[in-house]
């Protein structure tokens, strides 16, 4: 038996200082659709997500609620998981930085780096705002004052451990030169290269001013600080350094770390350098996607304009919300969210083009053929063009997905759907029926049914609930062999399939109803 190729994809681990918004949902749904696509096309997939639970912010937030940090994060992380379930996110594992399995690996890494001299003790100099109990760097200060409360800050020195990342700058630059595709999109890579060219400083990797974190094994008053803790999740979750390293051996290095553009730097510089220092293989690719912006600017809690994904799912359904997110953000660029844009997408693409294609054609099949398809005759006229397009589209979609261009992949599928609607006008089956041109009628309706099957198979990774609603209408719910990627060869659909007109897939939404 042939072994499947492996594919390992990750999302960032989100910080549970608050509930997640639609932006986080975008990242995770995008990763999910990649994971589902790879599974559909015959890969052995490992899809990881999780939560980054340590730090002063969490410690303080818990205190405000009179909870232990652990109680506090448990609650929020439950919310993360509920959201992912709601959005049909098919993760294989959920790593929490408070997991025991994670702690061990972080401590081991810290030890190793320390023993080989890549971590050393020094002092972290910063500015401290006593009322806010927060450290700021020189760069963060606003006019020399606290950026939060505008009061005076004082210079303090804190004993800290540092990671000698500056030592690896040359090696990093060489790596990027040899692996130009490592950072996507290219614009981000250029930013990172110029950042490193400006000179890398060593990285502060421990703190003594709070306790909520992983202890530095050889110096217990220190807690491991941020990135060494957080980034390690990508391999601690695979059981690296434990008695069972099977997943690690199988899936590392990761194929894709999918991250938002705000954390590209940490994933493309700190993480690879850490791995270099540890002599471990580097991930193959880091993709920094854009943000979903609001008309009113960036989404932020302080602006009170955060969009809750639960509300959207309640209102419009999972598949529609997923489709919108995946279709609306071109690769690497920002997209704009507005409820109007969402509804427009649902109406034009899902209701008018795709849903209506199924509705109109299934009606004709019932009306003119008693619901039973017939074997198609010899292709003529526009048939060839339609069939050609259907044959090419899966290849195109696969190419786009290889480049992680999800939006383009969807556009390609919908181009085929659009062609099918046009095909119906060209062939006018209602006229064929009237004139008793049965053979031609059979061919036309068969071709459209087959197009719908193609579109639905290809759309599955993006809208996982679609197939279970479409297959019964197409009469192939009991034929799993017709639901696979491999089945996307023309005319696989049996000639005697029984079609049954069913529910409207995506009802049109009245835009005016939004203005209430």
Does 149 count as an annotated binding residue?
Answer: yes
CA distance 266 to 257: 11
* Contact residue for RNA among 68, 122, 137, 489 (CB under 7 A): 137
Interactions with RNA, residue window 249-308 (CB under 7 A): 261-263, 265
Cβ nearer to RNA, comparing 193 with 278: 193
Binding residues for RNA, rule CB under 7 A, total: 66
Cβ nearer to RNA, comparing 421 with 497: 421
Regarding 148 and contact with RNA (CB under 7 A), the answer is no
* Contact residue for RNA among 59, 74, 159, 202 (CB under 7 A): 202
* Contact residue for RNA among 104, 310, 344, 479 (CB under 7 A): 344
* DSSP code per residue over 230-288: HHTHHHHTTTTTSS--HHHHHHPSPSEEEEEGGGHHIIIIIHHHHHHHTT-PPPS-EEE
CA distance 253 to 271: 12
CA distance 409 to 397: 5
Regarding 109 and contact with RNA (CB under 7 A), the answer is no
Reading the block at residue 298, the tokens are 């960036």
CB of 43 to RNA, least distance (A): 29
* Contact residue for RNA among 225, 271, 316, 337 (CB under 7 A): 225
Does 204 count as an annotated binding residue?
Answer: no
Regarding 237 and contact with RNA (CB under 7 A), the answer is no
* Contact residue for RNA among 118, 255, 319, 353 (CB under 7 A): 353
Strands 256-260 and 6-14: parallel
Task: Say which residues have a Cβ less than 8 Å from residue 78's Cβ, sequence separation at least 6.
Answer: none
For CA atoms 156, 162, 164, 169, give the dihedral sign: negative
CB of 38 to RNA, least distance (A): 26
Regarding 135 and contact with RNA (CB under 7 A), the answer is yes
* Contact residue for RNA among 29, 87, 203, 452 (CB under 7 A): 203
Strands 119-129 and 154-163: antiparallel
String marking each residue 47-86 x if it binds RNA according to CB under 7 A: -----x--x-x-----------------------------
Task: Say which residues have a Cβ less than 8 Å from residue 223's Cβ, sequence separation at least 6.
Answer: 54, 206, 207, 208, 210, 211, 212, 213, 214, 215, 216
Regarding 130 and contact with RNA (CB under 7 A), the answer is no
* Contact residue for RNA among 221, 249, 422, 500 (CB under 7 A): 422
CB of 494 to RNA, least distance (A): 22
SS3 helix, strand, coil % of the chain, rounded to 5? Answer: 50, 15, 35
User: Which of these, 369, 375, 346, lies nearest to 446 by C-alpha position?
Assistant: 375
* Contact residue for RNA among 23, 272, 309, 355 (CB under 7 A): 355
* Contact residue for RNA among 194, 302, 370, 468 (CB under 7 A): 194
Regarding 210 and contact with RNA (CB under 7 A), the answer is no
CB atoms within 10 A of CB 347: 18
Reading the block at residue 457, the tokens are 């198979």
CA geometry: angle at 416 spanning 495 and 405, to 5°?
130
CA distance 187 to 490: 40
Regarding 333 and contact with RNA (CB under 7 A), the answer is yes
Does 129 count as an annotated binding residue?
Answer: yes
Regarding 363 and contact with RNA (CB under 7 A), the answer is yes
Cβ nearer to RNA, comparing 392 with 422: 422
Query: Which listed range, 28-36, 137-145, 301-309, 376-384, lies at the site for RNA (CB under 7 A)?
Result: 137-145
Regarding 436 and contact with RNA (CB under 7 A), the answer is no
CB-CB contact of 512 with 338 (8 Å)? no
CA distance 267 to 193: 13
CA distance 261 to 267: 10
Backbone angles phi, psi at 142, to 5 degrees: -105, 110
Binding residues vs RNA (CB under 7 A): 13-15, 17, 52, 55, 57, 135-140, 187, 190-191, 194-195, 198-205, 225-227, 230, 261-263, 265, 330, 333, 336, 344, 348, 351-356, 358-361, 363-364, 367, 418, 421-422, 424-425, 428-431, 504-508
Q: Which residue numbers belong to the known binding site for Zn(2+)?
A: 129, 132, 146, 149
């Amino acid at each position: 038996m042939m072994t499947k190729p492996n594919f390992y994809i990750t999302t960032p681990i989100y910080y549970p200082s608050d509930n997640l918004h639609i932006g986080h949902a975008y990242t995770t749904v995008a990763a999910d659709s990649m994971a589902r696509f790879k599974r559909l096309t015959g890969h052995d997939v490992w899809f990881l997500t999780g939560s980054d639970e340590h730090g002063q912010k969490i410690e303080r937030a818990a205190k405000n609620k009179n909870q232990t940090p652990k109680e506090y994060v448990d609650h929020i992380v439950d919310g993360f998981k509920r959201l992912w379930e709601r959005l049909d996110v098919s993760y294989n594992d959920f790593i929490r930085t408070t997991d025991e399995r994670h702690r061990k690996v972080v401590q081991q890494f810290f030890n190793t780096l320390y023993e080989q001299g890549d971590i050393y003790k020094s002092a972290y100099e910063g500015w401290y705002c006593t009322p806010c109990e927060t450290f700021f760097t020189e760069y963060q200060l606003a006019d020399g004052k606290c950026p939060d409360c505008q009061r005076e800050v004082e210079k303090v020195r804190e004993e800290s451990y540092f990671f000698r990342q500056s030592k690896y700058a040359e090696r990093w630059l060489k790596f990027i030169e040899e692996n130009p595709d490592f950072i996507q999109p290219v614009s981000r890579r250029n930013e990172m290269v110029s950042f490193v060219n400006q000179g890398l400083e060593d990285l502060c990797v421990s703190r003594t001013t709070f306790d909520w974190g992983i202890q530095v094994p050889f110096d217990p008053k220190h807690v491991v600080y941020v990135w060494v803790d957080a980034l390690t999740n990508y391999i601690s979750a695979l059981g690296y350094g434990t008695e069972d390293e099977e997943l690690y051996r199988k899936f590392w290095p990761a194929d894709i770390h999918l991250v938002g553009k705000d954390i590209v730097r940490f994933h493309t510089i700190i993480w690879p350098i850490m791995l270099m220092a540890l002599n471990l293989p580097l991930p193959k690719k880091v993709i920094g996607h854009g943000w979903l912006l609001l008309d009113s600017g960036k989404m932020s809690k302080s602006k009170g304009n955060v969009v809750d994904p639960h509300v959207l799912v309640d209102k419009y359904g999972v598949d529609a919300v997923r489709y919108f997110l995946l279709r609306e953000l071109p690769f690497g660029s920002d997209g704009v969210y507005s409820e109007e844009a969402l509804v427009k997408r649902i109406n034009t693409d899902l209701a008018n083009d795709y849903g209506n294609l199924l509705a109109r054609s299934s009606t004709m099949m019932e009306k003119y053929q008693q619901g039973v398809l017939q074997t198609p005759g010899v292709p003529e006229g526009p048939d060839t063009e339609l069939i050609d397009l259907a044959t090419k589209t899966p290849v195109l979609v696969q190419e786009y997905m290889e480049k992680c261009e999800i939006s383009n992949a969807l556009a390609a599928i919908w181009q085929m759907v659009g062609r099918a609607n046009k095909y119906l006008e060209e062939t006018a089956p209602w006229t064929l029926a009237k004139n008793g041109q049965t053979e031609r009628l059979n061919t036309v309706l068969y071709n459209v049914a087959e197009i719908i099957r193609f579109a639905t198979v290809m759309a599955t990774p993006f809208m996982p609930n679609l197939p279970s609603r479409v297959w019964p209408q197409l009469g192939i719910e009991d034929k799993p062999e017709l639901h696979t990627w491999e089945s996307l060869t023309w005319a696989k659909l049996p000639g005697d399939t029984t079609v049954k007109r069913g529910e409207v897939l995506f009802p049109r939404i009245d835009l005016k109803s939004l203005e209430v």
